[in-house]
Amino acid sequence: MDARGKYALVAVPAPLQEPLTYAVPEALAGRLQAGMRVLVPLGRRRVTGVVVGFQRESPVAGVKEVSEALDDEVLFDRAFLDLCRWAADYYVASLGEMLATALPPLLRTESRVVAAFAADPESFHGDLDREVLDALRKRGPLTPAALGRLFPRRGVKSALDRLAAAGAVTLGERLRGHVREARRRKAARPERAAETAVPGAAPVLTREQQRVLGSMEARLRDGGFETLLLHGVTGSGKTEVYLQAMERVRSRGLQSLVLVPEIALTPQLLDRLEARFPGDVAVLHSRLTGAERWRQWWRIAQGLARVVVGARSAVFAPARALGLIVVDEEHDYSYKQEEGVRYHGRDLAVVRGRIVGCPVILGSATPSVESYHNARSGRYRMLELTERVEARPMPAVEIVDLKSRPGQAAGEKLFSEPLLRALRENHEQGLQSLIFLNRRGFASFLQCWACGFVVQCPRCSISLTYHLGRHSAFCHHCDFRQRKPDACPGCGNLSLSEVGAGTERVEHELRRLLPKARIGRMDRDTTGPRGAQERIFRSWEKGELDILVGTQMVAKGHDVGGVTLVGVILADSSLNLPDFRAVEKTFQIISQVAGRAGRALRPGRVIVQTLVPGHYCFGPARGHDYPAFFATETEFRRELGYPPFQHLVHLRIDGADGDKVARSARDLARDLRRREAREPVEILGPAPAPIARLRNRYRWQILLKGANRPALLAAARRAVALMPRGRAARIHVDVDPYNML
Ligand code: ADP
Ligand code: ZN
């Protein structure tokens, strides 16, 4: 595309299908390039957009002009724009929407903040002007906000305006302004305890690790796209393989991108990265402030960090010299974005690898069925680590049948005798135990024993979860809160009881059963404040806690040597979800949580409580036999036409008026059926969503299913086009959905 074209195609963060055309003003002709940000008029506002191409002719007359260029150099390279274009197309979104999802918020705003100084101090209006200029000279570029903090309540803003008018400072743009700061600062990262030391030197690889690394050697050296599925049991040294692969790539001067499910849950991986690559790591995570995030972006874009680690959205990190992408725990559901453009971070990582031409390593002890299927069918290369490092044994997994234990089926007793006995013994020996339940709060719901009334959220069709510590019932979807009523709101009887258990009740019960044990809890309720999660984890790591109770937060990558016992309170809670991946999820969570046990010298033991001990997921979980699980699971998937054999697109229609939403959904399904009659796409529904109302919006759904992806995506696009624009009902498209509640 000719960079000197008269018209620029600009993608703006708005739900439009195509980039908009703007005239390039004389002053910018020849300077503007694809991949630069510009300020453009849109309606009555001015918004930030990204130039994605040029044209000689305008398709319409009288187009508006680009107001301003925001970058002096290209911020987004071809590969980045190609990735966004691919993702927009695949996830049925506009390029503008995709860019809005991919870019840090700072990059999308209009305000200009940085004051970079230029020396021409002629006309000062007072001391403040001189002091501001001095500060800029000494410290380099600063944002007006930072200057405001330096000179509180002294009218910095008007001083800057005066200085700018006099030509003494230039109000530059963030990009330029943060350069110097970025070079000085160390990578921002979640709070860490100073006393945890991690050795920087690489250990001698095990034979399996050597074999795996050896088989990717050529790929790491010569580059080229290939997806490698590293299937290694928990504790088999996958992370060490990533580190050494990254080292290979780094020694060629290239960057590595590491995706992890959640940064706050992987403090140990960060420790290891920083110990191995000191000063060369950039971390992207959701708790960064805008300025911190921008600083990290800048370091990455400039190649000042050769190791980039972050959660899902880091797949859009602006690394221009990518030599390797690693997706750790590739099966993890948090890679799926559940709002806006619903992309999958792992899948986009593979696409990005293909676009830039570099290898992609997907690692897991329990690969997703899709990835394992791809490896089996030869699309990915399978690499396996079958043994734990130093021949540590896999933990012994026992299944406890709650049915045969009276009182427990009704949920009165949370701990079966075998689990309680094991907990006591473990504690007496000074060893650590991990207790897992995939539900937070004290009671799942409050129900009246006299009339059956269940306390519900007034905005969602969901029962409220009771939290004892906060004396209130909460909606886990919209955070609605209500104090626990004394009497039943339905019949007035004083018979509201707390039914079902969450982690809060487990902790409560444990304190009663083992009064001497030091007990901690890790779930969304205890990890709210910044750094809280890491603090709990660090005291767990240092052995200051005997028992840690938690939700799936405790199941992920932790490596704590003292943990020898893992208890799963109720495996059924995930097994019974209305989701075709429920069994896969349960198998994964049991294997992962079991993988926390016995990682040091002592062997581990895992006790799983369930009401359905005969379920097909338990045999393979006991035997640490992923292929056995995969074989049975894929039989069902094939039979029912689910991924990886057929693909899904989930269409949700929602709105404030239930009748209108229902009508829209029915109309849409009818129109789709009329047109899809001859196409290989199955249209299921419409039906009310399992959560039929959420935050006062009524929800219906239509499921598209088919083995032919292009036909499926075409149908999804048609659905969007068929849907009348307006407020009554909106459509949300979810390609390869994970959450269909
Ligand atoms: P995974 O990622 O597969 O769960 P890790 O890479 O975390 O496994 O390795 C598990 C433990 O073994 C870690 O404590 C790690 O430091 C250690 N480890 C990994 N590779 C080796 C090795 N070759 N020699 C000694 N220890 C190792
Ligand atoms: Zn609610």
Nearest CA to ligand 1 atom 20: 237
Q: Is the pLDDT of residue 171 over 70?
A: no
Residue 705 one-letter amino acid: K
Whole-angstrom distance, CA of residue 730 vs CA of residue 725: 8
Q: What pLDDT does residue 599 have?
A: 64
Residue minimizing CA distance to atom 10 of ligand 1:
235
364: closest CA among 234, 511, 219? Answer: 234
Average pLDDT for residues 506-513, to the nearest whole number?
A: 94
Per-residue pLDDT, 595: 82
Residue 587 one-letter amino acid: F
Query: 235 C-alpha vs ligand 1 centroid, how far in Å?
Result: 6
Confidence label for 547 from pLDDT (cuts 50, 70 and 90): very high
Dihedral angle at the C-alpha atoms of 38, 42, 46, 49, nearest 10 degrees? -30
Are 696 and 663 part of one and the same domain? yes
> Which of 186-190, 509-513, 642-646, 717-721 comes out lowest in average pLDDT?
186-190
333 lies in the same domain as 372:
yes
Structure tokens at 651: 């269409």
Which range, of 55-69, 541-555, 587-601, averages the lowest pLDDT? 587-601
> Which of 172, 191, 217 finishes a domain?
172
Question: What is the C-alpha to C-alpha distance for residues 24 and 8, in angstroms, rounded to an integer?
Answer: 6
In a domain? residue 81:
yes
Task: Out of 636, 669, 688, pick the residue that ends a domain.
Answer: 636
| Domain region containing 544 | 392-442+501-636
CATH assignment at residue 87: 3.40.1440.60
**Whether residue 370 is found in the same domain as residue 382:** yes
Ligand nearest to the backbone CA of 209: 1
Phi-psi region of 137 (alpha: psi -120 to 50; beta: other; left: phi over 0): alpha
Using pLDDT thresholds of 50, 70 and 90, give the confidence band for residue 633: very high
pLDDT at 169 over 70: no
Regarding whether 232 and 220 lie in a shared domain, the answer is yes
Least confident of 345-354, 644-653, 674-683: 674-683
Q: With a 6 A CB cut-off, is 600 part of the ligand 1 pocket?
A: no
Does 652 lie in the same domain as 596?
Answer: no
Per-residue confidence band for 646, with pLDDT thresholds at 50, 70 and 90? very high
Give residue 700's pLDDT: 97
- Write out the H or E segment, with its range, that includes residue 217: helix 207-222
Assess if residue 713 is contained within a domain: yes
**Last residue in a domain, options 107, 133, 161:** 107
Q: Judge if 224 and 326 occupy the same domain.
A: yes
Instruction: State yes or no: pLDDT of 269 exceeds 70.
Output: yes
- Which of ligand 1's atoms lies nearest the C-alpha of 236? 3
- Cα–Cα dist 96/14, whole Å: 6
Q: In the chain, helix, strand, coil percent, each to 5?
A: 35, 20, 45
Q: Which of 65-79, 274-288, 478-492, 705-719 has the lowest mean pLDDT?
A: 65-79
Which tokens belong to 115? 């004051």
**What is the C-alpha separation between 65 and 721, in angstroms, rounded?**
29
Whole-number Å distance between alpha carbons of 363 and 381: 12
Q: With respect to residue 194, please indicate whether it lies within any of the assigned structural domains.
A: no
Report yes or no on 197 lying in a domain: no
Give the closest residue (by CA) to ligand 1 atom 6.
237
Do residues 396 and 544 both lie within one domain?
yes
pLDDT tens, position by position, 564-587: 899 999 998 888 888 899 999 999
Q: Is 201 contained in some domain? A: no
**Would you say residue 660 has pLDDT above 90?**
yes
Read off the pLDDT of each residue in 712-733 and give the average, rounded to a whole number: 91
* Pair (418, 524) in one structural domain: yes
pLDDT in tens, 373-427: 999 999 999 999 999 888 888 889 999 998 876 655 444 588 999 999 999 999 9
Instruction: Determine the pLDDT at residue 139.
Output: 64
User: 325 CB contacts (<8 Å, ≥6 apart)?
Assistant: 256, 257, 258, 259, 349, 352, 353, 358, 359, 360, 361
Looking at residue 290, its pLDDT comes to 67
Model confidence pLDDT, tens digit, residues 11-45: 887 766 678 999 999 888 888 999 888 888 988 88
**pLDDT computed for residue 616 by the predictor:** 95
Q: Determine the angle formed by the axes of helices 78-90 and 95-102, rounding to 10 degrees.
A: 120
Task: Output the CA 459–ligand 2 centroid distance in Å.
Answer: 5
* Residues facing residue 344 across a β-bridge: 336
Task: Judge whether 193 lies within some domain.
Answer: no
What mean pLDDT do residues 50-68 have? 87
- Position 165 confidence tier, pLDDT thresholds 50, 70, 90: low
Where does the pLDDT of residue 243 fall: very low under 50, low under 70, confident under 90, or very high at 90 and above?
A: very high
Q: What is the pLDDT of residue 124?
A: 55
Q: What is the domain count for the chain?
A: 6
Q: Is there a single domain that holds both residue 609 and residue 694? A: no
Q: Which has the higher per-residue pLDDT, 331 or 178?
A: 331
In a domain, 187, yes or no: no
156-170, 256-270, 576-590: which has the minimum mean pLDDT? 156-170
d(CA 266, ligand 1 centre) in Å: 15
d(CA 48, CA 69): 10
Neighbours of 448 (CB within 10 A): 21
- Among 239, 273, 383, 563, which is best to mutate for testing ligand 1, by the most ligand atoms less than 8 A from CB? 239
Within a domain: 496: no
Q: What is the pLDDT of residue 137?
A: 65
Residues 62 and 117 in one domain: no
Do 42 and 167 fall within a single domain?
Answer: no
Take atom 23 of ligand 1 and give the residue whose Cα is closest: 205
User: For the chain, what is the mean pLDDT?
Assistant: 85
Q: What CATH number should be reported for the domain holding residue 263?
A: 3.40.50.300
Measured CA to CA, the distance from residue 355 to residue 349 in angstroms comes to 10
Q: Would you say residue 664 has pLDDT above 90?
A: yes
More confident residue, 511 or 299: 511
pLDDT band, residue 678 (cuts 50/70/90):
low
Encode pLDDT of 106-122 as tens digits: 555 543 434 343 334 44
Share of the chain above pLDDT 90, in %: 54
Residue with tokens 């009334």: 453
CATH number, domain at 717? Answer: 3.30.70.600
Ligand 2 geometric centre to CA of 474 (Å): 8
The answer on 402 and 306 residing in a single domain is: no
Whole-number pLDDT of residue 392: 84
CB 293 within 8 A of CB 285: no
